[in-house]
Amino acid sequence: MPVLRSIRERFASERPLDGVAVAACLHVTAETANLVRALAAGGARVALCAANPLSTQDDVAAALAQEGMEVLAVRGEGPERYAGHVEALVAAGPDVTLDDGADLITALHEGGRAGGMLGGTEETTSGLVRLRALDLACPVLAVNEARTERAVNDRYGTGQSALDGILRATNLLLAGRTLVVLGYGYAGQGVAQRARGLGASVIVCEVDPLRALEARMEGFEVMPALRAAERGDVFVTVTGARDVLTSEHFARMRDGAVLANAGHFDVEIALGDLAALARDVREVRPLVRSYDLGDRRLHLLAEGRVVNLAAAEGHPAAVMDVSFATQALAVEALARGGFPRGVHPVPARIDDEVARLKLASLGVEIDTLTPGQQAYLRVWDDPSP
């Protein structure tokens, strides 16, 4: 994670977080360890609990605890123990929080302890939905919506890892097949682009006319899902909506069609409809469930759960490097203060800095505007002398 490493090195010399109490409720993984180490190098006192008990890597938790960090996370911990861990972080009275799903900052609000905080960061869409519905007592930076996050995490991360999950589960050759992507948002665009790169013919289904237009102009076929149902060999839902593929679609699909979901929740493929149509259901490979519809069989991957996590390893570390670099710089910005209450976009200078560091880690150099060009562009921005 070279981007985070370079931030950690700067933090170690500048100590921008000296005396700041940081509480993080994140997946306790090796990537997260690098983030909290960077924050600690900047002078922060860091406490960490798990955003999801099933993703905790116990060896990572133990290593961080040995380094003197307060870590409250055990893989498989039950709901009560989980709530106790969040509560312990609340009781310590943090200055800055990091969340992946908003549990920690919500608990601070419920306990009336968020008022004096410098602020928090949020890593997921669903967390931001919760926070926007809350009368926030402090600022929150929407890391999930940063431009670098959209590009690197949603498009390239999901694009690669969703296909990785499908290929690991099925061992299919995508070349020569038709892959249908339902939802052409940031994540869907990545899936479509990468599937094309593997030689698949890609069909896109959308409900947003502009996104559909973009898909068409990118060279993909675009059509309603009911028509695509008759054409696809592999279907990938990535909309964030529910019941995107239902019995109407299943009834039209071809023998052997593969169904996968890369959206956050397992509601995009109507599993009840599929079960109701099936005469027999059997596990034909790990994570591949075959539904016998009489004349055809449809193959559901990972029970309709998010395929890149369930059938592969989620995002590669290089993706989390960018996300967590944004997190680290967002914590630094919050520690400086000055943000009003409410949810705010990550400042553009942080996005630029993360992109610049990522380019540097890839050995890529770019041009900069000359003073003359800067002056010229300023004139167009602001015609007053």
Ligand X SMILES: NC(=O)c1ccc[n+]([C@@H]2O[C@H](COP(=O)([O-])OP(=O)(O)OC[C@H]3O[C@@H](n4cnc5c(N)ncnc54)[C@H](O)[C@@H]3O)[C@@H](O)[C@H]2O)c1
Interaction of residue 207 with ligand X, rule CB under 6 A: yes
Stretch that binds ligand X, among 19-27, 109-117, 203-211, 277-285 (CB under 6 A): 203-211
Q: Using the rule CB under 6 A, which residue among 53, 101, 263, 304 binds ligand X?
A: 263
Stretch that binds ligand X, among 41-49, 66-74, 202-210, 316-324 (CB under 6 A): 202-210
Q: Please tell me the total number of residues recorded for the chain in this structure.
A: 385
Nearer to ligand X, 70 or 214 (CB): 214
Nearer to ligand X, 245 or 257 (CB): 245
Interaction of residue 182 with ligand X, rule CB under 6 A: yes
Nearer to ligand X, 212 or 360 (CB): 212
Single-letter code of the amino acid located at 377? L
96: enclosing H helix or E strand: strand 96-99
CB closest to ligand X, residue no: 185
Interaction of residue 206 with ligand X, rule CB under 6 A: yes
Interaction of residue 185 with ligand X, rule CB under 6 A: yes
φ/ψ region of 254 (left if φ > 0, alpha if ψ in -120 to 50, else beta) reads beta
Task: Find the shortest distance in angstroms from Cβ 211 to ligand X.
Answer: 4
Core vs surface per residue 300-328: b (16+ CB within 10 A) or e: bbbebbbbbbbbbebbeebbbbbbbbbbb
Interaction of residue 164 with ligand X, rule CB under 6 A: no
Q: Using the rule CB under 6 A, which residue among 154, 321, 332, 351 binds ligand X?
A: 154
Stretch that binds ligand X, among 69-77, 94-102, 154-162, 350-358 (CB under 6 A): 154-162
Task: Find the shortest distance in angstroms from Cβ 128 to ligand X.
Answer: 11
CB 20 within 8 A of CB 119: no
Task: Find the shortest distance in angstroms from Cβ 14 to ligand X.
Answer: 32
Collapsing DSSP to helix, strand or coil, 221 comes out as: strand
Please work out the total of residues on this chain that contact ligand X, with binding judged by CB under 6 A.
26
Q: What's the distance, CA 223 to chain centroid?
A: 27
Pair of tokens at residue 4: 């985070």
Stretch that binds ligand X, among 204-212, 286-294, 350-358, 374-382 (CB under 6 A): 204-212
Give whole-number Cα distances, 312 to 52, 269, 307, 366, in Å.
17, 19, 7, 34
Pair of tokens at residue 357: 């560091």
* Spatial distance between the Cα atoms of 91 and 80, rounded to a whole number of angstroms: 16
Alpha-carbon dihedral 89, 127, 182, 213, rounded to 10 degrees: -140
Interaction of residue 187 with ligand X, rule CB under 6 A: yes
Q: What's the distance, CA 179 to chain centroid?
A: 23
Stretch that binds ligand X, among 15-23, 111-119, 178-186, 247-255 (CB under 6 A): 178-186
Q: Using the rule CB under 6 A, which residue among 86, 180, 244, 334 binds ligand X?
A: 244
* Spatial distance between the Cα atoms of 270 and 273, rounded to a whole number of angstroms: 5
Which one, of 290, 306, 305, lies nearest residue 256 by Cα?
290
Interaction of residue 238 with ligand X, rule CB under 6 A: yes
Nearer to ligand X, 182 or 330 (CB): 182
Nearer to ligand X, 77 or 100 (CB): 100
Q: Using the rule CB under 6 A, which residue among 29, 34, 56, 239 binds ligand X?
A: 239
How many Cβ atoms sit within 10 Å of the Cβ of residue 218?
Answer: 15
Number of DSSP helices (H) and strands (E) in the chain, helices first: 17, 15
Which one, of 16, 79, 85, 29, lies nearest residue 331 by Cα?
16
- Give residues in contact with ligand X (CB under 6 A): 125, 154, 158, 162, 182-188, 205-208, 211, 238-241, 244, 262-264, 306, 308
